[in-house]
Amino acid sequence: MCDTFVALPPFTADGSVIFGKNSDREPNEAEVLEYHPALVHGKGESLRCTYITVPQAEETFAVLLCRPFWMWGAEMGANENGVVMGNEAVWTRMPMRKEGVLTGMDLLRIALERSRSAQHALGIVLQHLEDYGQGGLCGYEDRRISYHNSFLIADPKEAWVLETAGPLWAALKVKGMYAISNGLTIGEEFSEAHPELIETARKKGWLKKGAPFHFARCFSDYLYTTFSASRTRRERSAKRIAGMEGTMDVPAAFEVLRDHGDGEYRPDSHLLGNRLCAHAGNKIFRNAMQTVGSLVVHLKPNFQTCWATGTSSPCIATFKPVWLRDPVLPDPGPASAGRFDARSLWWHHEKLHRAVLQDFPTRAKAVRKERDALEKELLVKASQGSPGECREMTEAAFETAWARTAEWTALVQELPVATRPRFFYRRYWEGQNRKSGMVPQ
pLDDT more than 70, % of the chain: 99
Between 328 and 241, residue with greater pLDDT = 241
Kindly state which CATH superfamily the domain 2-337 is placed in: Penicillin V Acylase; Chain A (3.60.60.10)
Check: CB of residue 161 under 8 Å from CB of residue 176. Answer: no
The 10s digit of each residue's pLDDT in 378-432 is: 999 998 877 778 999 999 999 999 999 999 999 999 999 998 999 999 999 999 9
Is 2 a catalytic site residue?
yes
Distance between CA 6 and CA 19 in Å, rounded? 4
DSSP state of 277: S
Residue 42 exposed, middle or buried by CB count within 10 Å (0-12, 13-18, 19+):
exposed
The 10s digit of each residue's pLDDT in 96-154 is: 999 999 999 999 999 999 999 999 999 999 999 999 999 999 999 988 899 999 999 99
Q: What is the phi-psi region of residue 145: left when phi exceeds 0, alpha when psi lies from -120 to 50, beta otherwise?
A: beta
DSSP state of 181: B
Greatest CA separation for the chain: 66
Q: What is the mean pLDDT of the chain?
A: 95
pLDDT given for residue 386 in this prediction: 78
Instruction: Using pLDDT thresholds of 50, 70 and 90, give the confidence band for residue 441.
Output: low
Residues contacting residue 127 through CB under 8 Å, at least 6 positions apart: none
Check: CB of residue 6 under 8 Å from CB of residue 19. Answer: yes
Cα distance between the two ends of the chain: 28
Give domain limits for the chain. 2-337
Segment (H or E) for 154? strand 148-154
Check: CB of residue 276 under 8 Å from CB of residue 229. Answer: no
Check: CB of residue 166 under 8 Å from CB of residue 148. Answer: yes
Strands (E) located in 14-55? 17-25, 31-36, 39-40, 46-48, 53-55
Instruction: Using pLDDT thresholds of 50, 70 and 90, give the confidence band for residue 331.
Output: confident
Residues contacting residue 235 through CB under 8 Å, at least 6 positions apart: none
Distance between CA 178 and CA 188 in Å, rounded? 16
List the catalytic residue out of 2, 49, 277, 315: 2
Question: How many Cα atoms sit within 13 Å of 156 on the Cβ side?
Answer: 15
Helix (H, G, I), strand (E, B) or coil at 170: strand
pLDDT given for residue 136 in this prediction: 96
pLDDT given for residue 389 in this prediction: 87
Distance between CA 280 and CA 114 in Å, rounded? 34
DSSP state of 358: G
Between 224 and 15, residue with greater pLDDT = 15
